[in-house]
Amino acid sequence: MAKAKLEVSNPVFVFKIALADQEDIWRRIAVRASQTLGDLHAAIFDAFDREEEHLYSFFFPRPGSRGRARLRDAIEYSHPYASDEESPFGETRNAAKAKLRNLGFRPRQVFFYLFDFGDEWWHKITVEQINGKPERIKYPRVLERQGQSPPQYPDLEEE
């Protein structure tokens, strides 16, 4: 009985993470409800073959927001180093403390992830599942990959 209760209280969330400007390049990642946005960041970092850590943020647009207001008015969760600073988009929260189970996800919900505030790797995240049955494996984990990750630092040809 205790095992069944644990599975219900700590389900698996499945997210599809696509590069915002190349949506044919994406990863499907499973994360436990007890894990954090910081854990999701680490999984995305690995899944897209990133080499060097940078600051990051997750942006949750408010319902009904459109255009520039979508990010400007969004709830932002950032890397612990950036969560203490004032964001140009407003209030920021610590992603490392934000447990997925507390974020009120719903299927088909879309939110955004920005990796590297300088080079701006934007990702569109779609919630695909919120109540998956966990397996006896390590989470987070990549379930599926589509397309090759572009290099974090593309070679720039000299003119």
| pLDDT over 60 at 87, yes or no | no
Ranges of each domain in the chain: 9-146
In this prediction, residue 8 has a pLDDT band, given cuts at 50, 70 and 90, of: low
In this prediction, residue 33 has a pLDDT band, given cuts at 50, 70 and 90, of: very high
pLDDT tens-digit readout, 103-148: 999 999 999 999 999 899 999 999 999 999 999 999 999 999 999 9
Spatial CA neighbour of 123 closest among 31, 9, 34, 28: 28
Strand-pair category, 12-19 with 121-132: antiparallel
pTM: 0.87
CATH of domain 9-146: 3.10.290.30
Strand-pair category, 92-94 with 75-78: parallel
- What is the rounded distance in angstroms from the CA atom of residue 35 to the CA atom of residue 19? 23
Out of 14-18, 24-28, 42-46, 58-62, least confident range:
58-62
Q: Yes or no: say if 116 and 54 are a contact pair by the CB < 8 Å rule.
A: yes
Amino acid 81: pLDDT: 82
pLDDT tens-digit readout, 34-80: 999 999 999 999 999 998 989 999 999 988 888 777 888 889 999 98
Amino acid 72: pLDDT: 82
In this prediction, residue 153 has a pLDDT band, given cuts at 50, 70 and 90, of: confident
Q: Which tokens sit at 139?
A: 């989470």
Cβ count near 56 (within 10 Å): 24
